[in-house]
Amino acid sequence: MDNGIGFFLGHILESLLNYIQGMSNADVLWLVIGLLGQCLFMMRFIVQWIHSERHQKSLIPVSFWYLSLAGGVIVLAYGIHKLDPVIILGQLPGTIVYLRNLMLIHNGKENNTPR
């Protein structure tokens, strides 16, 4: 690893550890919850990209909506805990859209089922 990159990553890690040391256990837990939500939310793009590459066209798999909903709800909970209106207003409408898309997908499957 290049010394510049190593120094940069070391500085980031040191800053993160200093940030966490000043936090209560509950705040650290909420930080982990928020980061988990962001990771789930980010994974949806990777899942969609892999799915599209496999099919050689842009597609959105159902798992994209599940990851969106899970990540969105967790980040929304984090935003509510932090009383952060930017996070709350950013995640609340999206969460409704993700849930509605899943409802439409599942209603469509029910309508296509032979009786």
Q: How far apart are CA 22 and CA 106, in angstroms?
A: 46
Residue 53 confidence (pLDDT) above 60: yes
Express each pLDDT in 13-46 by its tens digit.
Answer: 999 888 899 899 999 999 999 999 999 999 999 9
Say what the pLDDT of residue 82 is: 96
pLDDT of residue 60: 96
Domain boundary assignment for the chain? 24-111
- Which DSSP string corresponds to 60-77? --HHHHHHHHHHHHHHHH
Kindly tell me if the per-residue pLDDT of 115 is higher than 50.
no
70 pLDDT above the threshold of 90: yes
Contact 62, 78 (CB under 8 A): no
> By the 8 A CB rule, do 39 and 67 touch?
no
Which is more confident, 99 or 108? 99
